[in-house]
A = this chain, B = another copy of it.
Amino acid sequence: MARTSSKDVANRAGVSIATVSHVINGTRFVSEETRAKVREAIAVLNYRPNAIARGLVTNSTRIIGLVVSDITNPFFTAVARGVEDEMIGQGYNTIFCNTDEDPQREDNYLHLLAAQQIDGLIIAPTGVNSDSLIALAKTDVPIVQLDRRSPRLEAPLIGVDNETGVYQAVQYLIGLGHRRIAFLMGFETVSTQIDRFNGWKRALLEANLPAGDELIIRADPRFYGVVPSLSETVVQPASHDHAMPSAYEALQELLCSPDRPTAIFAATNQLTSGTLYAFNECGLRCPEDISLIGFDDHDWAPLFSPPLTVVSQPTYRLGQVAARFLMQLINGEQVEPPSSLPVQLIIRGSCAAPAGSGGVRSNSRVD
């Protein structure tokens, strides 16, 4: 239909389109009288300024892009809220995009966002093949990397101290008496996975404990695997190429082997859940038979069976900080990026001393 334009408003109010523009934006003085007429015309015509046209001339949209890698992960939704709340407070809107860890999808969205002339970008990059990202960075659009960094990209990073987080968690496990502690990780292309891996390795090496390949398991962090009772509800990413097994599948062999680890550190939210499924499948009780620590907390972790011991990140805060920093960049302020935020080990019920060590279960249920 004929979308009403400022010209229509101008006609109806008997003024010029310039005046209409000015009463809308408050960008120069307009007499109370004409202002009233214009406003009335706007109301009757149900007029909405076309942001597209405006953006074309102002070269600014007051929109930022937020690109995350898995919208299904509570970590990112919590972060997104932080970003969004902060941006709204500043009069900016945020467009939310989900890449599903798929570089091609990332590329696609980066195109879209660039074409939409966003004023800034917050991104948790997939970490691979980031041509569009590099290209975007070459324009004047301010970018901040969220949670993880892309190789080749020179942009400030807002993240947490991953290495220390798992280092301390593994130390805790060692303190409990564990000697064989496996590490379950996702894509090696994402920097947090490497950082966490390094934390695991450092703790082990310092304690003269094995940290060899047989203790490192890789799995696709985007889905759980074959869980019969759930097969209909589990969402399978459309773009998943099945190159990597799910956590559930990846763990089968290790868990059934005679010298299986006595504890597992899962480097991701979803990996942690997959591990629990695998435990169930193999008839292992947690923490009696095997201990588990996951990276990243969420509201439901205490309700799990067992309540999850986790390394917790300040998710909402992370989003806030990233947004606030991006705004400074957009406003042209010269500021240092905030240093990485601290993480915290939250001890609940998924860890105990290894079986046969005579230790007790280390538990602190919610109550």
Are B299 and A138 within 8 A (Cβ)?
Answer: no
Indicate if A151 sits at the interface (CB-CB under 8 A): no
The reply to whether A80 and B74 contact each other, CB–CB distance below 8 Å, is no
Residue of B nearest to A344 (CB): B232
Within the complex, what minimum Cβ distance (angstroms) separates A253 from chain B?
Answer: 19
- Separation in Å of the A300 CB from the closest CB of chain B? 6
Chain B residue at minimum C-beta to C-beta distance from A71: B77
Q: Which residues of B contact A117 (CB under 8 A)?
A: 50-52
User: How many chain copies does the complex carry?
Assistant: 2
Contact (A366, B229) CB under 8 Å given A52-B56, A115-B48, A116-B51? yes
Of the candidates A139, A283, A315, A365, the one having the most CB atoms from chain B within 10 angstroms of its own CB is A139
Asked whether any CB of chain B lies closer than 8 Å to the CB of A135, the reply is yes
From B80, B283, B315, contact of A71 by CB (8 A): B80
What CA separation (Å) do A232 and B283 show in the bound complex?
34
Does A90 reach chain B (CB closer than 8 Å)? no
Partner of A51, one of B81, B112, B307: B112
Say if the beta carbon of A335 comes within 8 Å of chain B. Answer: no
B97 touching A299, Cβ below 8 Å: no
Can you name the residue of chain B whose Cβ is closest to the Cβ of A346?
A: B229
The answer, yes or no, to whether A114 is at the interface (CB within 8 Å) is yes
Q: How far is the CA of A280 from the CA of B70 in the complex (A)?
A: 31
| Minimal beta-carbon separation of A288 from chain B (angstroms) | 15
Q: In the complex, what residues of B have CB within 8 A of residue A1's CB? A: 139-140
- Tell me, yes or no, whether A245 is within 8 Å of chain B by CB: no
- A355 at interface, CB cutoff 8 A: no
Tell me if A16 is interfacial: C-beta within 8 Å of chain B. Answer: no
Cα distance A188–B111 in the bound complex, in angstroms: 41
Closest residue of B by beta carbon distance from A305: B305
Contact, CB under 8 Å: A303 / B277:
yes
Residues of B within 8 A of A312 (CB): 232-233
Contact of A277 with B366 in the complex, beta carbons under 8 Å: yes
Report the bound CA distance from A17 to B193 in whole Å: 47
Report the Cα distance A61→B3, complex, angstroms.
15
- A115 to B235, Cβ gap below 8 A? no
- A302 CA / B303 CA spacing, docked (Å): 11
Q: Are B235 and A81 in contact (CB under 8 A)?
A: yes
Question: Which of chain B's residues have a CB closer than 8 A to the CB of A15?
Answer: none
State in angstroms the CA–CA spacing of A72 and B78 once bound together: 7
Cβ contacts A to B, 28 pairs, < 8 Å = A3-B139, A46-B135, A50-B56, A50-B115, A50-B117, A51-B112, A52-B56, A53-B56, A63-B112, A71-B80, A71-B81, A71-B96, A72-B77, A72-B81, A78-B235, A81-B100, A88-B108, A227-B302, A230-B299, A230-B302, A232-B314, A233-B298, A233-B315, A234-B299, A273-B303, A280-B367, A304-B304, A305-B306
Q: Pick the 5 closest A-B CB pairs, nearest first.
A: A305-B305, A51-B115, A1-B140, A96-B96, A85-B238
18 extra A-B contacts, CB within 8 A, seeds A88-B108, A95-B96, A273-B299: A1-B139, A1-B140, A48-B111, A50-B56, A51-B112, A53-B56, A56-B56, A71-B71, A72-B81, A81-B235, A93-B108, A229-B346, A233-B297, A233-B299, A234-B299, A235-B316, A300-B304, A305-B305
State the A residues within 8 Å of B (CB).
1, 3, 46, 48-53, 55-56, 59, 61, 63, 71-72, 74, 77-78, 80-81, 84-85, 88, 93, 95-98, 100, 105, 108-109, 111-112, 114-117, 135, 138-140, 224, 227, 229-230, 232-235, 237-238, 273, 276-277, 280-281, 283, 297-300, 302-307, 312, 314-316, 346, 348, 365-367
